[in-house]
Amino acid sequence: MDSLLNSAFAQSATDATSTQQGLMSFLPLVILFVAFYFFLIRPQMNRQRDHQKIVEGLHKGDEVVITGGMLGRISDVGDNYLKLEVAKGIEVKVQKQAVATVLPKGTIKEI
């Protein structure tokens, strides 16, 4: 009878140890996800939010650079598109999302 009790106690002790080992093996995955969140996901969300503010704040007369590197002055703003004057009398229609940067006034001396 003593041998049955000893084996029962030994079995419950090994079950608790294996549960702790299972949780400890899952810990590196949790740490990896937290690191990905703080180093990759969160900064990208902040950049998207900043870009959205730039796009929403576009007005006629703003000087901008689009993602292709072309720069010009906004001559008309629509819902999804804007007209960009890249030279005198030359306008290009581009998507608002293509705007990379808004330049300070007077950056483009003469278009």
Sign of the dihedral through C-alpha 35, 40, 46, 48: negative
Residues 10-35: what's their mean pLDDT? 75
The domain of 97 spans 59-103
Q: In this structure, what CATH number is given to the domain that contains residue 70?
A: 2.30.30
Kindly state whether residues 21 and 49 are assigned to the same domain: yes
**Domain count across the chain:** 2
Kindly state whether residues 42 and 3 are assigned to the same domain: yes
Pairs from 67-72 (Cβ < 8 Å, separation ≥ 24): 67/98, 67/99, 67/100, 68/98, 71/103, 71/107, 71/108, 72/108, 72/111
Residues 30-59: what's their mean pLDDT? 94
Residue 15 has pLDDT above 90, yes or no: no
pLDDT given at position 85 = 94
Total-model pTM: 0.68
Band (pLDDT 50/70/90 cuts) for residue 83 is: very high
The more confident residue out of 38 and 1 is 38
Residue 13 has pLDDT above 60, yes or no: no
